[in-house]
Structure 1
Amino acid sequence: MTADVRNPLRILPAILAILVPVGSIAWIASVPQRLGILIYPEQIAALMLGAALAVVFFRACQEGRGLLNVMDAALGVAAFGLGLFVFIRFPVLSEGSFRHPTEALLLGIATTALVMEGLRRVIGWALIVIFVVMLLYALFGDWVPGALTGRPQPIADILRFLGTDSTATWGQALQIAAFVVVVFVLFGGLLLAVGGGDFFTQLSLRVAGNGPGNTAKVAVTASALFGSISGSAVSNVMSTGVMTIPMMRKAGFKPQQAGAIEAVSSTGGQLMPPIMGAAAFLMAELLQVPYRDIVVAALLPAILYYLSVFVQIHFISHRDRIPSMKDLDRTPMASVLAQGWLPMVGIAVLLVSIFSFNIRAELAAIWSIVAMVTLGLATSFFGPEERRLSPRRLLAAIVRTGQSTCDILLITAAAGMIIGLLTTTGLGFALSLYLLEFGGESLFALLVVTACVGVVLGMGLPTTGVYLLMASLAAPALTQLGIAPMQAHMFVFYYGMLSMITPPIAMASFAAASIAGAPQLKTSFEGFRFGWIAYLLPFLFIYKPGLLMVGGALDIAYVFISSAAALVLVTGGLVGHALRPLGWATRIVWTVLGLAMIAPIHELGGWTLEYAITALGFALLLFYAVVGHGETAQAEPGQAGNPPAR
C-alpha cells in the first residue's frame, strides 16, 4: 500500500508547484478580467496557498514511511481541497458568513490547522507561538491588566473570522506574496536558467581585480548579485558559499573570516537594488508607492553596506599579508558581456519598464520574463548547453519557483492571521498608543527598543515575517511621531534582516560556518563585526534622511560622502590597519571620530558642530594619505603583518 501511495506522489508536488506561478501570472496579466470572469484576488490567492500547502505535505510524504506517508498524503489532499473550496465559496462566505455559521466555522478550523501545520514544517515553531499568544489574547484579553486590556471573543467567532475575512488569512499580506513576490522569484529563476549564474560569477571575477584579498572581493560581489535575486540570506550562502568560502580559505583567510564574509555579503543581497528581497515588495505595497521608490531609497545604504565590507577586506588583507590569487579563472570582459547578453536583456527590460515607462513592478517582471523566454527559446540552438533555454529547462524553472515560494506563501498567510487578530482585538491600536507615549518621552529610546524587538523576532523568523509584524506594530507609532513612512519602514526592514548575522542565533553565519568548517559562534561574531555599519544605517534613516534620497542634492551628497569617509575611519580603527599599521592611540581616535561623523551631532550641537567634526575627519584622512608618519608608520608589537592563516 505504501508503494501505491508513494509512486504517484513523485510527480504530484511538481504539478501542484506549477499552479503557483501560473496563478500569479494569470492574475497580474488580468486573464480572468479579459475573459469576462468576475473573480476576487482572495480566490486566486487561496488556490495558490492550497497548492503550496499541498506541495509541502506531499513532499514530506516522499520522505516518510507507512502510516506517516498516508497521513501526509491525506493532509496534502485536504490542503488542495481547502484552496479549491475557498476559490469556489469565498464570494458567498465573505459577505454572508453569518448565514452559514457552521460552514464558516469548519472553514476556519481547517484553515488554521493546515496553515499552522504547514508552517511548522517549513520554518519551525516561532511564528506559531506568536499566533497562539495572539489567539489567547483574543480569548482572554480581559485578564490583561492596564492599558492593554481587551474584550474577550468567542472562539467560534475568531475561527470564522480567520477563515472568511479579507483582512485575515486571505488578506493583503498573502496577496502581495502571491501576486508580486512569486513572479519576481520566477524572474530570478529564469535569469539563472539562461546563464545568469555564470554571468554573475564571471562578472564578479572581473570586478574583484588582482589586488590583495581579491578572492573575498569576488565572494562579496557574487553574493550581492545572487542575493538580490534569491532574497534569502541562508539559501544564498548555501548556493554561492560552496564556491567562495573554499576559495577564500585557500587564499589565506581564516575559516571564521571566510564564513563571516560570505554570510554578511549574502545577507546584504536583500538590500541591494534593483531586485531586493521579498520584504521590499511588501513594503512597496504597504506604503502604496511605486517599487522604484523603494529601489531609489535603498540604493545609497546598500552601497555603503558593501563599501564597508570591501574596505574591511582590503585592510585585513594588507594587515595579514593575504596575497592576491593570480590564477583565478577569468573570462575576458568582452566575452563575459557577449555570453551574458540574455540575462542583461532581462534585467534591462525590467529596469526600463519600471523607471522609464512607469509600469508596475510585477507587470514589468512579466514583460522581462516574456522577453527572456522568447529570445531564449528562439536562440536555444546556439551557444553553450548551459545557457540554452530549452522547454524542459523552462518547465524546471517554473516548478522550482512554485516549490521555493511555498515558505513565503505560508509565512504571509500566518502573518495575515496575526495582523487580523491584532486588528480585530484592538491590541495593535493599544500597542501603538503605548509606543507613542514611550516615544514622546524619547524617540531614540523607542528606536532602540524597536531595533531590539526586530532582531529578537528575526532570530526565529524569516525577514518577511519580521517585517510584516514590525510594520504592523512599530512603524505606525514611528510615523505618528512625525517620521516619514519610508524612513519608519526602512528602519524596521533593516533590523528584521540583521538577525541573520546577529549572535547568538545568526542563521546565515551558521550556514556559512558549516561550509567553512569553523566554529559557529566565532563565525557569527566575525559576521557581526563585518556588518557593523548595518546596525547604524537605520538610525541615519531617521536622523539623516538624505541617505534615503530625501531632500536636496547637496544634503544627499553630504550624508553619503561623510558616511563613506566615516566608515573608512571606523574600519581602520577596528582592524588596526589602513594600508599600514595603526597604533592603539590612533585606532581610538579614528574609531571615535568616525562614529562622531556618522552620529547626528546636529541634533545636539547644531550643524556648525557637525560640519566641523566632518571637516576634521576628512582632514585626518587626507593627512594620513599624504603626510602621515610617526605612530601610524610604526607597527606595535603584535600589529605587524601576520602570516596568512591556512
Structure 2
Amino acid sequence: MDQVRRGTGRRLRITRSAASPCQGEAVTKGAGRLRRPGANTESETMALNTLRNIFSPLAAVLAFLVPVVAVIWVLSIPQRMGFLIYPEQVAALLLGAALCVVFGRAVAKASGPLAWLDAALSLLALGLGLWVFVRFPTLTEGSHLHPTEAYWLGVIVTLLVLEGLRRVVGWTLVVITAAMFAYALWGNLVPGPLRGRGQPLEDVMRFIGTDSAATWGAALQIAAFVVVIFVLFGGLLLAVGGGDFFTQLATRVAGRGPGNTAKVAVVASGLFGSISGSAVSNVMSTGVMTIPMMRRSGFRDDQAGAIEAVASTGGQLAPPVMGAAAFLMAELLQMPYGDILLAAILPAALYYLSLYFQIDFIARRDGHAEADWIEKMGLRTVLTKGWLPLGAFVVLLGAIFAWDMRAEVAAIWALGLIVGVALALWAVRRASGSASGTGPALSPKEVAATICKTGSQVCDVLLICAAAGMIIGLLATTGLGFSLSLFLIQFGGSNLFGLLLITGLVGIVLGLGLPTTGVYLLLATMAAPALVQLGIPALAAHMFVFYYGMLSMITPPIAMAAFAAASISGAPQLKTGVQAFKFGWIAYFLPFLFIYKPGLLMAGPWWEITYVFASALIALILVSAAIIGHGLTHLAPPVRALALVTGVLIIAPLRQFGPPVLEFGISFAGLVMIVAYVVLLRGSQRAMAKG
C-alpha cells in the first residue's frame, strides 16, 4: 500500500555544533562546565534515554501485535471461544496501537520537551484504543446517556488521527478532513446547491467518536482486517525468496531481444509490485537492481528511472493484491474480491504490454542490442528454487477462485503455508547442525521480525483509513455526499465525457498530496455514486476513479514514483517524471474504456471481450510506434501521423456516435496496417539478403 512520507510532516531541528564559532551562542557557567541554553543536562539526557528505552520496545511490541490480532480476528477465534465482540472494538484497538507506534517512533527522534510530548501522545493513543474497546458497546447504543464521555472521545480521536496523519503523509489529508469538519459545523453558510445545515460541535464529535458509520466504520475495518493480512503475506513471501523468484522468472520470460534489460525490469517490477501494492516502496526495492542494469545496456538515466517508475506503479493495477484500494472496492461494492481480480486482468495486461512495446521500439531505434551478460537460470531451476512462493500463490488463488474463500482468509492459508514450511526447514537444519541448505528456511526470530515490520508499515494505512472513515461519515450525516452527487448527475446528464474528464483531473490533483487509498476513498464516496446514477456499471465507475487515483504516481509535477526512481538513476526529477508520463500514456485512456467499452472489464459476451482487448492492443502498438517514431524500422513522419490517428480512433468509442461498422472498420484497418508493415518489411529484408 503507498506509504509516502511528505516533508511537511517532519519536524526540522537545527543542531548547533561546538566547532562552529559563528552561531552566536551564549554560554552559561554551571557546576564547573559550560552549557548552552536549551542543551540537555546529563540528567535530562539520562531521562531521555530511559524514555526511548521504554517506547522503542513498546512500539515494536505493538507493531508485532497489530498483524497478529488481525489474523486472530479474521479466523473468528474470539467468536469460537464464545466472546461477543464488535468488529469496531477490534478496529479501534488496532488504530490505538497504530497511533501509539507512530508517536512512539517519534520519541526516538525528538529531544527535549518534544520527546515527552510524543511519549504522552503515544500513551494517550494506546489508552484511546483500550477505552473504545471496552466502552464501545455501551456508547454506540446510548451515547446520549453519556454525552460528555462521547464528546471527549470524539475530540481525542480526531486530534490524535489528524496529528498522526500530519506526521506520516503530510498536510493534504489533514486539510481535507478539517474542511469536512468545518462544513459540518457551518454548512449553512455555503451558497448554492452545496448548501448544508450547520450542526453543533458536540453532536459532530459524538458522532465521530461513537458511530459505526464514522471513524470505526468500513474503511478502518477493511484496512485492519484485510489490508494488514495481505501486507503480511507480501512481507513473508519476500522473506522466503519471493523477490529472487520474481526476478529470475522475469529473466526467463523477457530476457531476450533488444532492450532485454528493461523488459526484465518491467516484468520483475510488475510481479513484485503486484504483491507489495506500493509504487514508491517497489521502486526503492527493485530499482536499485534494475535501473543500473538498464543504464549499463544503454538506456538514458531518465529513461531507466521512468521505466522502473511506470512498471512499479502498475503493480497497484495487477492482480492478485492490487494495493489496499482494491479491497476497499470489493467491500464498497459488496462484490467478491475474485470478481475484482478478474476485471483487472485485461487492463493490467494492456498496461504492461504498452510499456513492453515502447521499450522494444526504443531499443531498436537507439541500437540497444540484447545484453548477453544477464545471468539466466533454467526454468526448471527457477521453479525449483521458488517452489514455496509459487506454492503460496497457488494456495491463495485456489482458495479465492476454487474454494470461494474470502480474500483475507485465503491469504491467511497462504501465509500459513509459508510460515509452517519455513519454520519446519529451519528446525530440520538446526537439528541436523547444518548452517545452510536448500529451501527457504526462516527462524522464529526472522518470522517475528517480518511480522513486526508489517505492523510498522500498515500503521500509516490505518491512520489514512480512519480519516477516510471520518470524511465518509461526515459526507453522509451532513448530506453533502447526496448534494454533490446530485450536482454531478445534473452536469453529467448533459456531458458525460466532461464529467469523466473532471473526475479524472480531480483524482490526479488529489493524488499529488494523498496516497492511492485516500484518493480512491474520497472519489468513491463523492464521484462514483454520480457515475452509477447516470447508468454506468458500479464496477466500471469505481475502476475509473481507482485508476485516476493511482496516476499521480507518474504525473508531473509531483510524480512520487518517478522522483523515487530519479534518486537512484541520478537523472533530473522533472525530466524523469515527463518520461514516466510518456511511457504510461495508456493508463490515461484505459479508464475511459471501462465506461465506453466495458468488455475490457470482462463484462459481456466472450466475443465482445475478445474484440475490445484485441482492438486496444492494436491501438497501443500503433500509438506507441507513432510516439517513438520507430517500429521494427524507422517511421517516416506521414506514417507516424497515420499510425497515431488510426490508433486514437480505435481507442475512441465510435459506436457511441455512429454505426458499429465504423468502429469495426477502423480497427480492422489498423490490423491491416500492422500486418502489411510486417510483411513488407520481411519481404524487403529477404530481398536485401538475396541481393
Q: Distance in 1 between matches of 2:439 and 2:388?
A: 13
Aligned-pair CA distance for 1:9: 2.4
Q: Which amino acid aligns with 2:102?
A: V
Q: Distance in 1 between matches of 2:205 and 2:303?
A: 49
Q: Which residue of 2 aligns with 1:563?
A: 616
- In the alignment, is residue 434 of structure 1 matched against residue 487 of structure 2? yes
| 2:155 counterpart (91, 109, 128) | 109
Q: In 2, are the aligned partners of 1:582 and 1:631 still within 8 Å (CA)?
A: no
| 2:503 counterpart (450, 455, 478) | 450
Aligned-pair CA distance for 1:384: 4.5
TM-score (normalizing by structure 2): 0.90
Q: In 2, are the aligned partners of 1:502 and 1:525 still within 8 Å (CA)?
A: yes
Q: In 2, are the aligned partners of 1:581 and 1:632 still within 8 Å (CA)?
A: no
- In the alignment, is residue 55 of structure 1 matched against residue 101 of structure 2? yes
Please say which of residues 242-251 and 310-319 is displaced more in the overlay: 242-251
Q: In 2, are the aligned partners of 1:13 and 1:58 still within 8 Å (CA)?
A: yes
Following superposition of structure 1 onto structure 2, how do residues 321-400 of structure 1 map, counting pairs within 5 Å? Answer: 321-380=367-426, 381=428, 384=437, 387-400=440-453
Q: Which residue of 1 aligns with 2:18?
A: none
Q: Which amino acid aligns with 1:313?
A: I
Q: In 2, are the aligned partners of 1:545 and 1:551 still within 8 Å (CA)?
A: yes
Q: In 1, are the aligned partners of 2:196 and 2:478 still within 8 Å (CA)?
A: yes
Q: Which residue of 2 aligns with 1:83?
A: 129
Q: Which amino acid aligns with 1:25?
A: V
Q: Which residue of 1 aligns with 2:186?
A: 140
Q: Which residue of 1 aligns with 2:268?
A: 222
- In the alignment, is residue 183 of structure 1 matched against residue 229 of structure 2? yes
- In the alignment, is residue 543 of structure 1 matched against residue 589 of structure 2? no
Q: Distance in 2 between matches of 1:330 and 1:9?
A: 47
Q: Which amino acid aligns with 1:484?
A: P
Aligned-pair CA distance for 1:586: 0.7
Question: Per-residue CA shift, 1:519-539, capped at 9, x if unaligned?
Answer: 111111100000000000000
| 1:12 counterpart (58, 68, 89) | 58
Q: In 1, are the aligned partners of 2:472 and 2:525 still within 8 Å (CA)?
A: yes
Q: Which residue of 1 aligns with 2:473?
A: 420
- In the alignment, is residue 243 of structure 1 matched against residue 289 of structure 2? yes
Specify the SS of the correspondent of 2:240.
helix
- In the alignment, is residue 575 of structure 1 matched against residue 635 of structure 2? no
Aligned-pair CA distance for 1:338: 0.5
Q: 1:257 to 1:631 in 2, by over 3 A?
A: farther
Aligned-pair CA distance for 1:18: 1.4
Q: 1:632 to 1:542 in 2, by over 3 A?
A: farther
Q: Which residue of 2 aligns with 1:92?
A: 138
- In the alignment, is residue 270 of structure 1 matched against residue 322 of structure 2? no
Q: Distance in 1 between matches of 2:54 and 2:248?
A: 41
Specify the SS of the correspondent of 1:299.
helix
Question: Per-residue CA shift, 1:152-173, capped at 9, x if unaligned?
Answer: 1111111111111111100000
Q: Which amino acid aligns with 1:37?
A: F
Q: Which residue of 2 aligns with 1:479?
A: 532
Question: Per-residue CA shift, 1:252-282, capped at 9, x if unaligned?
Answer: 1111101100110000000111221110111
Aligned-pair CA distance for 1:386: 8.5
Please say which of residues 356-365 and 198-207 is displaced more in the overlay: 198-207
Please say which of residues 123-132 and 322-331 is displaced more in the overlay: 322-331
TM-score (normalizing by structure 1): 0.96
Question: Per-residue CA shift, 1:606-628, capped at 9, x if unaligned?
Answer: 20101110111011111100025
Q: Which amino acid aligns with 1:522?
A: K
Q: Distance in 2 between matches of 1:34 and 1:612?
A: 61
Q: In 2, are the aligned partners of 1:52 and 1:406 still within 8 Å (CA)?
A: yes
Q: Which residue of 2 aligns with 1:639?
A: none
Q: In 1, are the aligned partners of 2:424 and 2:441 still within 8 Å (CA)?
A: no
Q: Distance in 2 between matches of 1:629 and 1:73?
A: 72
| 1:152 counterpart (190, 194, 198) | 198
Q: Please give the root-mean-square deviation of Cα atoms over the aligned residues, in Å.
A: 1.5
Q: Which residue of 1 aligns with 2:210?
A: 164
Q: In 2, are the aligned partners of 1:580 and 1:632 still within 8 Å (CA)?
A: no
Aligned-pair CA distance for 1:629: 9.4
- Which structure has the larger Rg? 2
Q: In 1, are the aligned partners of 2:425 and 2:439 still within 8 Å (CA)?
A: no
Aligned-pair CA distance for 1:514: 1.0
Q: Distance in 1 between matches of 2:506 and 2:437?
A: 49
Aligned-pair CA distance for 1:387: 2.6
Question: Per-residue CA shift, 1:373-421, capped at 9, x if unaligned?
Answer: 1122122245648831211111111101100100110000000001111
- In the alignment, is residue 3 of structure 1 matched against residue 56 of structure 2? no
Q: In 2, are the aligned partners of 1:583 and 1:632 still within 8 Å (CA)?
A: no
Q: Which amino acid aligns with 2:222?
A: I
Please say which of residues 622-631 and 33-42 is displaced more in the overlay: 622-631
Aligned-pair CA distance for 1:632: 13
Q: Distance in 2 between matches of 1:463 and 1:598?
A: 26
Aligned-pair CA distance for 1:553: 0.6
Q: In 1, are the aligned partners of 2:425 and 2:440 still within 8 Å (CA)?
A: no
Q: In 2, are the aligned partners of 1:195 and 1:386 still within 8 Å (CA)?
A: no
Q: In 1, are the aligned partners of 2:421 and 2:441 still within 8 Å (CA)?
A: no
Q: Which residue of 1 aligns with 2:26?
A: none
Mind listing any 5+ residue stretches in structure 2 that lack a counterpart?
1-46, 430-435, 687-691
Q: Distance in 1 between matches of 2:604 and 2:682?
A: 40
Q: Which amino acid aligns with 1:542?
A: I
Q: 1:629 to 1:225 in 2, by over 3 A?
A: closer
Q: In 2, are the aligned partners of 1:602 and 1:609 still within 8 Å (CA)?
A: yes
Specify the SS of the correspondent of 2:213.
coil
Q: Which residue of 2 aligns with 1:123?
A: 169
Q: In 2, are the aligned partners of 1:300 and 1:548 still within 8 Å (CA)?
A: yes
- In the alignment, is residue 303 of structure 1 matched against residue 349 of structure 2? yes
Q: Distance in 2 between matches of 1:128 and 1:195?
A: 38
Q: Distance in 1 between matches of 2:653 and 2:512?
A: 29
Following superposition of structure 1 onto structure 2, how do residues 26-37 of structure 1 map, counting pairs within 5 Å? Answer: 26-37=72-83
Q: Which amino acid aligns with 1:396?
A: A
Q: Which residue of 1 aligns with 2:238?
A: 192
Q: Which residue of 2 aligns with 1:314?
A: 360
| 2:460 counterpart (374, 397, 407) | 407
Q: In 2, are the aligned partners of 1:193 and 1:397 still within 8 Å (CA)?
A: yes
Q: Which residue of 1 aligns with 2:586?
A: 533
Specify the SS of the correspondent of 2:241.
helix
| 1:494 counterpart (547, 555, 572) | 547
Specify the SS of the correspondent of 2:368.
coil
Please say which of residues 622-631 and 566-575 is displaced more in the overlay: 622-631
Q: Distance in 2 between matches of 1:458 and 1:237?
A: 18
Q: Which amino acid aligns with 2:126?
A: F
Q: Distance in 2 between matches of 1:68 and 1:358?
A: 50
Q: In 2, are the aligned partners of 1:216 and 1:258 still within 8 Å (CA)?
A: yes
Q: 1:632 to 1:508 in 2, by over 3 A?
A: farther
Q: 1:450 to 1:29 in 2, by over 3 A?
A: same
Q: Which residue of 2 aligns with 1:257?
A: 303
Q: Which residue of 2 aligns with 1:640?
A: none
Aligned-pair CA distance for 1:335: 1.2
Q: In 1, are the aligned partners of 2:275 and 2:320 still within 8 Å (CA)?
A: no
Q: Distance in 2 between matches of 1:392 and 1:335?
A: 29
Question: Per-residue CA shift, 1:205-224, capped at 9, x if unaligned?
Answer: 22222211111111111110
Provide the identity percentage. Answer: 62
| 2:661 counterpart (608, 613, 638) | 608
Q: Which amino acid aligns with 1:363?
A: V
Q: Distance in 2 between matches of 1:259 and 1:632?
A: 35
Q: Which residue of 2 aligns with 1:466?
A: 519
